[in-house]
Structure 1
Amino acid sequence: MEIPEGWLGELAQDRMADRAAGAYAPVALWACMSSLTGGAEPVATTVQCDTHDGSTEWRALWLTENALAHGSVVKGKEGWTAYSDAAGDDEPDETKGWVRSIKQVGRVEISQAECRRISRVSESGRAWTWSSSARIVFSDGGSVSLPLFGNPGSDAQDAEIQTFLAGVSDRL
């Protein structure tokens, strides 16, 4: 299956970026997510990477109009990104994924919530923002947590998660 041409470039980079790490997911994760969704365009996405014990794991969660898809790729190399793919180091050691109908979502649980002032000297003056960690629970008891690894690593990543959760809520 070909990745739709329109997904290459800025749009794909926006959908497949770990905003906290400032890195783009390897093409293997793009292929995994495209396969799981049948090429359906995502309404919302969240992507994170984690490096530990000499390996890098990337996870993505996509919301389409009708489904939630979760994918994961692992490579025994620190700092594995789309840029290492370009250098010919693109094959993951492990690929996993699943897709579920949005109708299988039983509930969304908030596990942590925080409200904070953005900055006293910011353009927005005294604007506040919130962040939360959540778990999407399916009717069979399975679940997926947001953020995908630990805590959000940046305000931009946190906003991505909030947008994702709002998209799920809109479809329930």
Structure 2
Amino acid sequence: MNGQEIRDRLLHSYERSYDIVKPSEVNGHIYDACASYHESGAKYVLSKKAELWRISCHEHAYFKAVEELNEQDVEIFLTDLTEWIEPKVVREGKEVPDTDHMYTLVTGIFFADKPVADSVKKKIRKYRYYKNYRFSLRGYCQVRLLVFDTAEQKVFGNRAAWELVKGYAKMFRS
């Protein structure tokens, strides 16, 4: 199974809950797809006008299938993240997100057909991005990086993506 087949299989599983845009342009760079998920919850008394609290949670996943994943591909995504995704998608151009914002997860998912170099693996595994807004009163943003290495039939990612790695590693076992 190559990277594009895995990407299509993964996108198919995302279709039920996520809004998917194919292809997606971010800061002048083209990604194969962007999947967005938005969830909101509230607690109120007697009527919806007497709202006690409200939360909103978001997730944005950017998919990219490449023949060989190199450091430049990863750097382009990380630059897009800091220059465009976090300020324009997460904060919507404001100084901080809205008052009901709880968290936003941004996931970069790469699919590589050739084996991934050790330097790229190290860069991805060590990457951390966690930004809180107003001492977490306005929520936080966290970045997860995930790589499907189809040549070695392995999945790896950074520490924030460990749950995804654990779940998606089963794709290669079946």
TM-score, normalisation: structure 1 = 0.24
Counting helix residues as a fraction of each chain, which structure ranks higher?
Answer: 2
